[in-house]
Amino acid sequence: MEVINFADQPSVMSRYMRELRDIDIQGDRMRFRTNIERIGQLMAYEISKRIAYDDVRIQTPLAECVCKEPAEKVVIATLLRAGLPFHYGFLQIFDLAENAFVSAYRKYHEHGDSFDVLVEYMAAPSIEGKTLILVDPMLATGTSMELGYRALLRKGHPAKIHVASVIASQRAVDYVKERFPADKTTIWCAAIDPNVNAHSYIVPGLGDAGDLAYGEKEDNA
């Protein structure tokens, strides 16, 4: 399974990542969401190089010419809620893609930092034989991503899978590599951080992406 870490080669994405992480900048919610969208756009463009294309003959005002048209049907699937700006960035590039949404959240146990990940809602088209792009900005443990993927399998089996995150932990990358089909999955990360803490937050990470994008929420009872 191939893992692409954009941090290995500095680019304009590096500035967006700095602003996402910087505690003195990330409090600007609009800027935070915009930077996640920008990373989604850049990542989607790179993924677009990996899909198949057909030749299509068209007529310009002056002559006929042959252009390239994507030959694969793409479904962008997002884990709510933090994934929404990331999803929008991808959709701006894959503007003809179908879309899927999965609600997955942490339900903490009464005592301690342990939790279960619950999936309570899904809206998705068929993914049978299509290219599935799973997007979630924070890939901390990989559990939510796997459960979202398992839920989507009720809608068919994709031909290709792209797992995309803004920041992933090395632990989560290893987890996905163990549990997703290696022959058709590629992992894309703007950065891979070394650790997760006792609360299963990525370290150094950036904090809670959902709260930073949309405001704080009440803890699930």
Residue 129 domain-assigned (yes or no): yes
Residue 199 pLDDT? 82
Residue 221 domain-assigned (yes or no): no
| Closest to 135 measured CA to CA, from 161, 158, 154, 159 | 161
Residue 198: what residue type?
A
pLDDT of the chain, 221 residues: tens digit per residue: 999 999 999 999 999 999 999 999 999 999 999 999 999 999 999 999 999 999 999 999 999 999 999 999 999 999 887 899 999 999 999 999 999 999 876 555 566 565 556 677 789 999 999 999 999 999 999 988 998 999 999 999 999 999 999 999 999 999 999 999 999 999 999 999 999 998 889 999 999 999 999 998 776 54
Residue 112's region, left for phi above 0, alpha for psi from -120 to 50, else beta, is left
CATH number of the CATH domain containing 38: 3.40.50.2020
Does the bond joining 204 to the residue before it have cis omega, within 30 degrees of 0? yes
Residue 79 domain-assigned (yes or no): yes
What pLDDT digit, counting tens, does each position of 161-218 carry?
A: 999 999 999 999 999 999 999 999 999 999 999 999 988 899 999 999 999 999 987 7
Residue 220 domain-assigned (yes or no): no
69: DSSP letter: E
> What is the rounded CA–CA span in Å between residue 172 and residue 191?
12
> Please, which residues have CB within 8 angstroms of residue 154's CB and are 6 or more apart in sequence?
122
| Closest to 188 measured CA to CA, from 207, 148, 214, 161 | 161
180: DSSP letter: S
Cα 60 to Cα 53, 57, 63, 71, distances in angstroms? 20, 10, 5, 22
> Please, which residues have CB within 8 angstroms of residue 165's CB and are 6 or more apart in sequence?
135, 136, 137, 138, 139, 172, 187, 188, 189, 190
Q: Is the pTM of this model over 0.95?
A: no
Residue 219 domain-assigned (yes or no): no
Residue 55 domain-assigned (yes or no): yes
Residue 221 pLDDT? 43
Residue 117: what residue type?
V
Residue 109 domain-assigned (yes or no): yes
Instruction: Decide: 192 and 8 in contact? Cβ < 8 Å.
Output: no
N- to C-terminal Cα separation, the chain = 38
As for how many domains the chain has, the answer is 1
> What is the rounded CA–CA span in Å between residue 174 and residue 178?
6
Please list the residues that pair with 104 across neighbouring strands. 119
* Domain that includes residue 114, residue range: 2-214
Residue 92 domain-assigned (yes or no): yes
> What is the rounded CA–CA span in Å between residue 208 and residue 9?
26
